Structure 1
C-alpha cells in the first residue's frame, strides 16, 4: 500500500542542528513564521508545515474529513508523521493558536518526542463547541469568504498591519483555504480541551499572550502558564497573530530557547550554537 500523504512542509537550517517544528494558526500557512526564520535557522533545523486545506496541504491528508470527525489528535499525528519522515525521535516545537494546541497535545501525550514547547496566542480550550461547529458549517456552505471581513481585526492589533505584504499574504491564505480542510480544523478546535492534562506536560514551556488578542484573550495564556509546570509567561502588545510584532516574538523565543539546558538531547550544546557559519539546505515537501 502507498504511504499516507504528508502535510506540505518546508525544512531549512543546518543539517546537523536540533529540529524545531513550527505550527501555524487556523486560516494561515507556514508563511506566518517567515519573520522568525533568519534567526531560528541559525541554530535549528526548522520545519514549517501547512494545516490540512491550508497553503500547500490538501484536505486529503486528513484520515476522515467528514463533519465532526477531525480532532487535534489527528492533526498531531500528521505532525508526528513528518518528524518520523526525517528520522527525528524528538524535536522542539512552537505553535500559534491551533498550531500551539497541536504542540500541547504532543507534549502531553508524547512527552518523549517534545524537547521544548512554545505556545503562542493559544489555549487549552478554545471555548464552547457550538460556535466552532457553526463556523465549520458556514465554511462548508459558503467557503472562507464570509470570514475575511472580520479576520484582520482579530488577527492584527492595528489595521495598518493588514495592509502590509505580510498581512495581505496571510489574509490571502485564508481566502484560498479549502473549505473542507478549514472546516475540519474548526471541528478539531470544537472538541479540544487539554485542561485536565496540562500538568502532564514536562517539557520546558513558554506561553506568549497578546494584550489585544480577542480570539484567545490573556486569561487563556494565564491558564496555560498556571497549568503547565514551571511554564514562563510573556505578554506582547499584539493581536491574535503575534507575528505582527516579529522582534518582540523573536525576543521571547530566543530567551526561551537560550534558557534551555541544551539545544539537543542528549549531549552539550553543539559547536554551531556560537555561530559557526554553517550552510543551510532546504527541503520542500
Structure 2
C-alpha cells in the first residue's frame, strides 16, 4: 500500500497517511517537522521499510490532510495519532518524531505510553519561547501574499548557510514542499508549538527513549535535547554535527542511531 490514504477522525478532520513495508512487521510511525509533509522522510523509507512496517502521516494543516481554521493544540495533534492508529487497527508502535513530531512523540510518551514501544525524539524541545515570536510568525504568514518569504526563513533555519547558498537538489525539494504548505494550517501548527510546555511532565515518559540532537541546531538547541535526555528515565542521547533536519543533513549517521536503537 504505497499510495496516499485517508481517515476521518473524531472532529471531522481528514488525515492523510501512507504505509511502506510488509504487513506483519513491527509498525514504526514517522512524524515530521512543521512546514513539511510526510515526504520529509523519503530518504529513510527504503531502508526503514526493510525492517518495519513504516507508517507516515501528514499533520492536520499540511500535505494531504485537512487544514481546519483556527489554532491547533499539541493535545489535538497527539490525539490525531491515537485516532489514526485506532482506525488502522494498530495497537502498539515504535515512534520517531522530528521537531514538531518530537513534541507529539513526547505527548504520546506521557499520555499514551501503552501505545508506544520505543520512542525516538529528534531535534526537538519540550518548550519553545517566547510566545510573541510565534504570534509574529502567525501574523506574518497570514498577511503574506504567498509562502515565498516564509519558505526561505525555514530553509535558513533548517540547513547550513553553505548548503542553502549552493541550492543543492535537496534544498530545492524542501523549498517546493514549503511553497505548497497551507498558510492557515501553518498558523494553526505554530499556535500548537507556541502553547506547548512539557518541561514538567516529560519525566513521566516510561518507554525506552533515544534523543537525537543537532549540534548546530538554532531552532531546537542541543541543550534542549540534553534536558529531555536528562529528564526521561534511562534515555540515551546522540548528538550529530547537524543543524535542524538531521535526517537530511547526516542521513547515514541518523539511520545508524535510529536502527541501532530500534533493533
TM-score over 0.5 for the alignment? Answer: yes
**1:163 Cα offset (Å):** 2.3
8 Å Cα contact 1:152-1:159 kept in structure 2:
no
1:117 is paired with a residue of what secondary structure?
Answer: strand
1:26 match: 34
2:213 and 2:222 in contact (8 A); partners too:
yes
Unaligned runs of at least 5 residues, structure 2: 1-7
Cα contact 2:210–2:261 (8 A) shared by 1: yes
Q: Is the 8 A contact 2:13 2:65 kept in 1?
A: no
1:107, CA displacement in angstroms?
Answer: 0.8
- TM-score, normalised on structure 1? 0.84
1:147 to 144, 150, 153: 150
Match of 1:185 in 2: 189
Shift of 1:148: 2.3
Q: 1:227 aligns with which of 225, 231, 234?
A: 231
Aligned partner of residue 174 in structure 1, secondary structure: helix
CA distance in 2, matches of 1:232, 1:206: 5
Measure, in 1, the Cα distance between the counterparts of 2:74 and 2:60.
Answer: 12
3-state SS of paired residue (2:94): strand
Larger relative contact order (CA 8 Å, sep ≥ 6)? 1
Greater shift, 223-232 or 140-149, is seen at 140-149
**Change over 3 Å in CA distance of 1:119–1:105 after alignment to 2:** same
Deviation readout 1:228-258 (Å, 9 max, x if unpaired)? 1111000011111112211011011011112
RMSD: 1.6
Residue 282 of structure 1 corresponds to which residue in structure 2? none
CA offsets 1:164-191 (integer angstroms, 9 cap, x no match) = 3332212222111111100000000000
The answer to whether the Cα contact below 8 Å between 1:236 and 1:242 also exists between their aligned partners in 2 is yes
- Are residues 1:42 and 2:45 paired? no
SS of residue in 1 equivalent to 2:114: coil
Match of 2:259 in 1: 254
Q: 4+ residue runs of structure 1 moved beyond 4 angstroms?
A: none
Partner of 2:86, secondary structure, is helix
Structure 1 residue runs without a partner (length 5+) = 259-285
Rounded to whole Å, the distance in 2 between the matches of 1:165 and 1:5 is 33
The yes-or-no answer on 1:7 pairing with 2:15 is yes
Count of equivalent residues: 251
SS of the aligned residue for 1:76 comes to helix
